[in-house]
Structure 1
Amino acid sequence: MTRPSTLSSSLDLIGNTRLVLLRGPSEAAGCEIWGKCEFENPGASVKDRAALWIVRDAEARGELKPGGTIVEGTAGNTGIGIALVANALGYKSLIVMPDNQSKEKMDTLRALGAELVTVPPTKFADCNHFVHTSRRLAEEMDGAVWANQFDNVANRRAHLESTAPEIWEQLEGRIDGFTCAVGTGGTLAGTGMGLKEFDDKITIALTDPYGAALYNYYAHGELKAEGSSVAEGIGQGRITANLEGAPIDTQFRISDEEGLEWVARLLREEGLCLGLSSGINVAGAIALGEQLGKGSRIATILCDTGFRYLSSLYSAEWLEAKKLPVFDWLRSS
């Protein structure tokens, strides 16, 4: 796919990200593993797509008026995307985040001019969960709309209409499988639905971190979580509206340690600085490639930049505190 060299709007920078062949993962899987470079979006993550589609949908339905405010509960990346889209279209943004997310995300949101509210992390059933808090704040404000990324299917439509056709065109219709982890479910469901429209034989796989309940749901029909993960923005304990009807053919569960191994290798061997969700996605793509066999072509999502996690994932002190392996080069610095 040829990316346009001139654009009429900054919003046109969202999407049309490139696909890169990942050498180490391809060798490990014995097939081709391709990564969709979502860190190329202006907000440096895959969530820019959902942000744009959600805002445009609210405008089209007449809910979002000039000068209005977009309110969202997020682990950070969707909030960053919403803040940028809001700025470009003349809206304000208010973002609610759990206070255990990376400092870099919080600093970025403040720098973008978003109003940031942080709350203690808690279970979804708790009325003080960041999602429920954001909904209440939106209801209490004049001229505000609640983005509701988890259950607003404009989220998955972004990937059905943009991510899936981009991957299909970039791989010239020669793709055997797609996988990624789930936070809201929009990326996996939308991309899976879109790719299935091109070729129903494409295998769509869930890659779940520990601590999430979806692996057991798709494998055994029960929403049951096991273990834990420090990955931000992924891991889900319920079937969101975005996940309903998702064409998931198989599922994998990946540990933080395995994901971190690929984060380290992709940086040291291929010069890609990524977050843990990307490492987990790549590990899942390798598992899918091994399942589909030699000669298969697998695509996955490189969700965001590792520069968003300098105080956590790329900090020896933080990794040691979490009892996770420390990257070799951090030990010597």
Structure 2
Amino acid sequence: MLTAQFIFVMSTHMPEVKSAFLPGKGHLFVACNIMIVIAMVLAEMWLRTAAQYHKQAVVCCGFIVSYLMYFVLEPFVDGAQMTLMMPIMISLIYFDRKLLHYLGGFSILFYAAVYFGLERIVLEKPLLEFFLVECVFIVFVVMSHMVIIRAHEVRDHLEQLTKSEQELMVERAISDKLLKIDALTGLYNHKTFHEYLDSLLEQCESNGLRLQLALFDIDNFKRVNDTYGHWVGDLVLKEVAARVRGMIGLNDFAARYGGEEFAVIFTDKSFQEANAAVEELRSAISLMEHPYAGGKPITVSIGLCAYQLGNGKELLFRKTDNALYAAKHGGKNMVVTASPSPEEGTVYA
């Protein structure tokens, strides 16, 4: 604005404009411009240093600058009253309807005071011009009000879209979980178990990840179903699964592998630690009380095998299953570990 004023003054041949830079001449041209710069600098300093009242600083600066600009331009530029709309437009920066109404009402009253106290007396401006400017104020307020309403509508629409998207994400996560979780026990299902194991075995081969696989089977589970009914059998499965889920580590993975067969993958333990963990698990399950099953203990047989590089998934399962078979036929309620030797079928308790 200052550059435009300078070019205008230097390029025009109007004497009254040429005299604008002279002391005591023009419409306090230089003084108003200096005050505009001071107001802008003070507002900028406030915004950069103070932690509060930023909106008030912008509004006050806009109001002061708009009227100073008006006094600078008014003698030379038709329609200089448009600069007085600046405070009203500031409310659009914040999309604040209350601020808009305050600024609009204050601007209408303030301009009326300027007109009747200064312009009508000194400049002899007609009353019709005053009414036109006030009407423009009102039009600006109404238009700004509509813009703010529309902005709020768009915001609400975006919030609804975001909320709907979040709900879809939650539903998708729930659906994905339902596809991965066994409905009865709450453990991962057979399909998810194999997907996870395949991924971990790749990590074993490429990064040397430690991994142990445990397969365990509830002893005499068919007798429980036949004696007490399938609903009791389901309760037993739920309680055993809950105990397994509560005793494994955060980096371990438990799944329901078959009817009464479960699988646990250990990824953050040594073989000795994994062996101690499954032994603790076996003991804890054997100590559980089942009053609905005649008060008789429910036990599990467990086979455990550590993955050896290059063995592959099939050999890992064969050795673990052989260990489980040895536990079932060696007296049940026991842990049998697969031999670390490369001989596939060798196991020891």
TM category (shorter chain) comes to under 0.3
TM-score (norm 1): 0.22
Normalized per residue, which structure has more strand?
A: 1
Structure with more of its chain in helix, by fraction = 2
TM-score (norm 2): 0.21
